[in-house]
Amino acid sequence: MERVDVTGEVCPRPALIVRRRLSELDRDDELLVRGDYPPAESNLRRTCTKRGYEVEDRPTPEDADGGFELLIRPPADSNRSEGADD
């Protein structure tokens, strides 16, 4: 499982960071995203589901202080370069 922390980042940076990381994932990989900016959470969720990624809420760690964690899985029929140019 790959991890990316976008804590302290505000839009549009979290989406740009996550999209770059997603473009590098293999089909069987997962990306755990941690952040603390509520608009970024909703933006990431919307963008990923729109592109066919599965998005799962993860329990937030006690040290997250109002943050979020999302587990993102690529679509089963994806390839590494898909979505990289979006």
Active-site residue set: 11
Burial 4-37 (b: 16+ CB within 10 A, else e): bebeebeeeebbebbbebbbebeeeeebebbbbb
Structure tokens at 22: 């997603």
Contact 44, 33 (CB under 8 A): yes
